[in-house]
Amino acid sequence: MSIQVVPAIIPKSFHDLSSRVQEVKSFADLVQVDILDGKYVPEKSWPYTVPNDPDFEKIKSEGEGLPFWKDVQFEVDLMIENPENVWRDWIRVGASRIIVHLESTENMPKILKEFKEENVSKDSFLYSQIGIAIQIGTGNEELYPYLEDIDFVQCMGIEKIGFQGQEFDERVLEKIKDIKKMKPDIAVTVDGGMDEKTIPLVHDAGVERVAVGSALYESENIKETYDFFSSL
């Protein structure tokens, strides 16, 4: 069984996001957008690069949505402090999957409760999924209480998150196996350090999906690299 490859983008601007989605929309049906606030992680991405970014306010108010939303699904990875304040905004602009980092908030039970209440029907136009990301240094026992309330888990495959091109940390392999033992049917993604050498390792550990940034976008042929990674 092949693994699903999800192109991962840290957008510098709305235009940058549009151009990067344009590069993959003909063959990738899911794109991950990493949102960085400069607080939870040191770097900033769009829309935090510009205070009250007019492009973001426009797509929120006019319902235009994220670029090419008719062609691809968007998974928004909220690498930000207090994601409880903004996750609704991202669903409004077209995200079909929201990722909240376990270490970024003290209100995870509240987030999951409100998310479930507002996604009461899978037939709803606004229906979306929610996952929790967990860092290398966080014990899995902190994640386990939430496994029944989420759709998937994202294990960070690197120690220094918020930067693409970081070295893979093999400690994530045991984290994956432990999560799968606790809840075998939970979908697991790995984000960070993914390339032709590491994708087979996480796939063998039980991962169904990998988010790939620099190894994909910095390759000579994005489509060929995507297909190659998908076959591993």
Please state the domain extents for the chain: 4-231
Alpha carbon distance 168, 232 (integer Å): 17
Residue 195: count of CB within 10 angstroms of its CB: 17
Q: What's the CATH class of domain 4-231? A: alpha beta
Low-confidence ranges of the chain (pLDDT < 50): none
Residue 63 has a pLDDT of 65
Predicted local distance difference test score (pLDDT) of residue 16: 96
pLDDT at 123: 57
How far is CA 113 from its chain centroid? 20
Q: If we measure between CA atoms, which residue out of 178, 148, 10, 149 comes closest to residue 78? A: 10
